[in-house]
Structure 1
Amino acid sequence: MKILPKLALAAALATGMGSVVLTAPVSAQKKKEEAGGLKLSPEALKAAQAAQPVLQQKNYAAAEPLIAAVEAAAKTEDDKYIAAALRYELESGKLFAAQQANPNAPIDEATLAKPLDALIASPSTPAADKPRYVYRRGALAFNGKQYPIALKYFEQAKQLGYNDPNLPMLIVKTKMEMGDVAGANADLAAAIDQMNASGQKAPEDYYKYAIGRANKAKMVPETLGWMRKWVSAYPTAQNWRNVLVIYGLQQGSLATLDKNQKLDLFRLMRASKSLADQNDYMEYAQYATDKGLPAEAATVLKEGMATGKIPSGNATAKAMLAAAEAKNKQEGSLAPTEARAKSAGDGKLAALTGEAYYGQGNYAKAAELYRLALQKGGVDANEVNTRLGIALAAQGDKAGAKAAFDAVQGSPRAELAGFWKTYLDTQA
């Protein structure tokens, strides 16, 4: 038997065989090499020595029969290991060359399965190399849409300590493709938590992927949870707008909101600076007008004009602003209404007066009247608590706002309050 050092094979497109010289050692080194080396039969060694330089030159056509000869000569486990390693490098090299020649052509990786299986099963494969082979076999199965097989290998690679950064997401995607959305979501949440704990912020695409798959599976609570995580991690104005529109403003939205609820959603868009264009500002102003809040409608329209998002030539917006200002002037002071609300037998007038004060930007008075409405009763407590939280948030009272939002129960108000709490958590 002849002996040569064990090979440390790479598990990408090439194995690294080209860097190892297959030569028979001199007798003086024999005992040292026998301690940790491979023992090849003379026939297998001779065939491998003929195949390796041809493979190293990337002459794959000429290497094919030479590697077949190695496979035919293989008798021992070590022989079979070398044969599988050479076959894997040959097939990988052929695929890489084909891809380089025509990047758009489909790639059939099926030829890699047999040598990879042999390398994984071989007792001669170095322990340090096996995790990479297992991972590569999982990727092969994933690309071939053999998801149960892919999951088996990916989880085995993880158990073996393989730390490729793509592995956690591949496990998630494999479970998703198998229909295990809940399991995939749990794995993805754990991966994100681990990345964030290590100081490496999880990519934004992770959140988008989870939202898309949960939404496709019609898992509304999970979709909402991922949307909140997304804007918590990446609280840009564009992301806030996307989330809130998907939640309650677009056709086929996750929640069916009435006008009162949409008004509070637009208030969150305004707070998060995610009102994007004239349509957003004018729709918000219309909801405020319909609710009898001309001061709020006027404020929103003026903001849209000041930022340029409502073009200066928008005649409809100008007419809406003029009507809102006239109505606000006509209504005058809220003091008499506030006095009647305080003496009323229930909290309905107090809630309406709180709304009017909020529309005027008097958030302290609004909060006072909302609390009075809750105390007197006879009102929708979930709606009033939502608006109490909004008023307190506008004053910068995060703790008070969160307490009010925590008191909101039932869909869709609790979900809306949840988005407000997420917004507060993103504020410095």
Structure 2
Amino acid sequence: MNTVSRALLSALLMTGVAGGAIVAAPAAAQKKKADKGPKLSPAALKAAQAVQTATTANDFPTAEAALVQMDAAVTTDQDRYTAAALRLDMEQARLRVARAANPNGPVDQSRLAAPLDALLASPLTEQSRKGQMAYIRGQLAYDAKQYPQTLQYWQQAKQLGYVDPNLDMNVMRVKELTGDSQGALTDLNAEIQRATAAGQKPKEELYRYGMAKSVKQPGQAVPSMQRLLAAYPTAKNWRDVSVLYGLQQGSVATLDKQQKLDLFRLMHHTRSLADQYDYREYAQDAAARGLPEEAKRILDEGAAAGKIPTGGPDYKAMRTEIAKAIAAESPLGPLETKAKSAGDGKLAAQTADAYLSQNNNAKAADLYRVALQKGGVNADEANTRLGIALARQGDKEGARAAFTAVKGAPRSDLAQLWITSLDSPVTA
């Protein structure tokens, strides 16, 4: 967050806070002006005139001395209000002079805190301005790393009806800084629900913030990822979710090699393979699982998209190894026949895996059903891949049923992300 903006500060200039000039006009006009102006006690009025004169001349030592005299002379709410307003005006003038002398240099805005506190406490401050003042006061507290006070002022600003596009997000971030992670997530979910109920689309930033903060919250990571993808199903978000979920160090889930392969398949399905690492890693994983045709297809797609340089020895060596593996493969037809007559579903699942890797999704789906019916296989893995085969064919409801049948984590999480891809196709 930035320090207090000049636009906000300019809104709190003396003419807006105190209601007009306080310095009494000379001669006969003085009485007429005074009748319309604030009613100050005589000693406070004299000091106020000195403060304004010195502030206008940028004579801050003199203005400061006159303010000390005024503070000693106050006797009424109007005196106190005017003293605070004059101090705010002087401190803003001091900031303007400092910025003019060194536009890129640091400025100390903490001196605005005391007069803002006094104005917030004053019964004479217009209610319409108090929300803005509380927001600025919260920013000052944030700059000073006074996070509980920041939260207090920003919540006060919200209660007073102040509207800022970043206020809700800033409140959540400060709650996180105070250690209230659950409170921040609760606020986030409430804001998403409020905006959705009002027919508004919550900002993408809200969903991404919630996803980042839910990673270490049991049971909340995947639902927060799904909310982001449902609202903003971009290829970039799909890649970010996939990497965060299972492809980076310290990811949400620790995936085995088969689960990781199905996550790469999800990235391919959502067009979120983004760079050389994604394509090469996917191709290498497929080749290592004995699925050379899938490895070749992914490698070729990466090369055609310009993501994999094709001139290097590593690429050529990988292509050579994959070509050898493809040449050594046996026809799947005899295995399919044997699998359907076997006593359990193991061969059916293995043959289905081979068909899935060849993108022969109809054959794969048929054999996964055989494997599940005969038993003796990893049902969660088979249902996941049955869902993938059906999703590739456009059978959304069949795919949904297969994914819903997956129960054990982390495959159940993968299945939920696949369901999200059915409901929220990639937009870009």
* Pairing 1:219–2:196 present: no
Q: CA deviation at 1:318?
A: 3.4
**Native 8 Å contact 2:14 2:88 kept in 1:** no
The residue identity in structure 2 corresponding to 1:348 is K
Q: Which residue in 1 is equivalent to 2:407?
A: 409
CA distance in 2, matches of 1:103, 1:196: 42
Q: Which residue in 2 is equivalent to 1:175?
A: 175
**Native 8 Å contact 1:297 1:321 kept in 2:** no
TM-score normalised by L of structure 2:
0.85
CA distance in 2, matches of 1:39, 1:389: 78
CA distance in 2, matches of 1:197, 1:159: 20
**Native 8 Å contact 2:292 2:326 kept in 1:** yes
CA distance in 2, matches of 1:27, 1:57: 25
Q: Which residue in 1 is equivalent to 2:300?
A: 302
1:275-294 residue pairs with structure 2 within 5 A? 275-294=273-292
- Aligned residue pairs: how many? 413
CA distance in 2, matches of 1:275, 1:100: 50
Q: Which residue in 1 is equivalent to 2:186?
A: 186
CA distance in 1, matches of 2:221, 2:336: 42
Question: Aligned in 2, Cα 1:237/1:51: closer, same or farther, shift over 3 Å?
Answer: same
Deviations 1:329-385 (A, max 9, x none): 443432221122212222222211211111111112211221222222221111111
CA distance in 2, matches of 1:95, 1:191: 36
TM-score normalised by L of structure 1:
0.85
Q: Which residue in 2 is equivalent to 1:360?
A: 358
1:77-116 residue pairs with structure 2 within 5 A? 77-102=77-102, 105-116=105-116
Deviations 1:249-269 (A, max 9, x none): 223322211110111111112
Q: Which residue in 2 is equivalent to 1:390?
A: 388
Q: Which residue in 2 is equivalent to 1:3?
A: none
Q: CA deviation at 1:193?
A: 4.4
CA distance in 2, matches of 1:102, 1:408: 63
1:243-322 residue pairs with structure 2 within 5 A? 243-322=241-320
Give the SS at the match of 2:127: coil
Q: CA deviation at 1:87?
A: 0.9
The residue identity in structure 1 corresponding to 2:382 is V
For structure 1, which runs of at least 5 residues remain unmatched after alignment? 1-9
For structure 2, which runs of at least 5 residues remain unmatched after alignment? 1-6
Q: CA deviation at 1:61?
A: 4.0
Q: CA deviation at 1:28?
A: 8.8
**Native 8 Å contact 1:392 1:398 kept in 2:** yes
CA distance in 1, matches of 2:92, 2:197: 37
Give the SS at the match of 1:187: helix
Question: Aligned in 2, Cα 1:92/1:209: closer, same or farther, shift over 3 Å?
Answer: farther
**Native 8 Å contact 1:347 1:377 kept in 2:** yes
Deviations 1:3-52 (A, max 9, x none): xxxxxxx9635622146133589989999x6xxx8432233334334433
Q: CA deviation at 1:127?
A: 1.8
Question: Aligned in 2, Cα 1:45/1:200: closer, same or farther, shift over 3 Å?
Answer: farther
CA distance in 2, matches of 1:337, 1:427: 35
CA distance in 2, matches of 1:380, 1:410: 11
* Pairing 1:67–2:64 present: no
CA distance in 1, matches of 2:152, 2:385: 51
The residue identity in structure 1 corresponding to 2:115 is P
* Pairing 1:15–2:9 present: no
**Native 8 Å contact 2:236 2:272 kept in 1:** yes
Q: Which residue in 2 is equivalent to 1:166?
A: 166
The residue identity in structure 2 corresponding to 1:361 is N
Deviations 1:180-214 (A, max 9, x none): 11110121233344456667654444444444444
Give the SS at the match of 2:220: helix
1:147-158 residue pairs with structure 2 within 5 A? 147-158=147-158
CA distance in 2, matches of 1:278, 1:119: 59
Q: CA deviation at 1:104?
A: 5.4
Q: CA deviation at 1:99?
A: 4.2
Q: CA deviation at 1:132?
A: 1.9
**Native 8 Å contact 1:14 1:93 kept in 2:** no
**Native 8 Å contact 1:220 1:254 kept in 2:** no
Give the SS at the match of 2:39: strand
Q: Which residue in 2 is equivalent to 1:144?
A: 144
Deviations 1:261-303 (A, max 9, x none): 1111111122222223344323222222222222212211222
Q: Which residue in 1 is equivalent to 2:45?
A: 45
CA distance in 1, matches of 2:31, 2:310: 93
Q: Which residue in 2 is equivalent to 1:6?
A: none
CA distance in 2, matches of 1:99, 1:411: 57
Deviations 1:296-317 (A, max 9, x none): 1221122222223222213433
Q: CA deviation at 1:154?
A: 1.6
**Native 8 Å contact 2:185 2:213 kept in 1:** no
CA distance in 2, matches of 1:40, 1:303: 80
CA distance in 1, matches of 2:324, 2:413: 36
The residue identity in structure 2 corresponding to 1:79 is D
Q: CA deviation at 1:64?
A: 2.4
**Native 8 Å contact 2:302 2:308 kept in 1:** yes
Q: CA deviation at 1:326?
A: 4.3
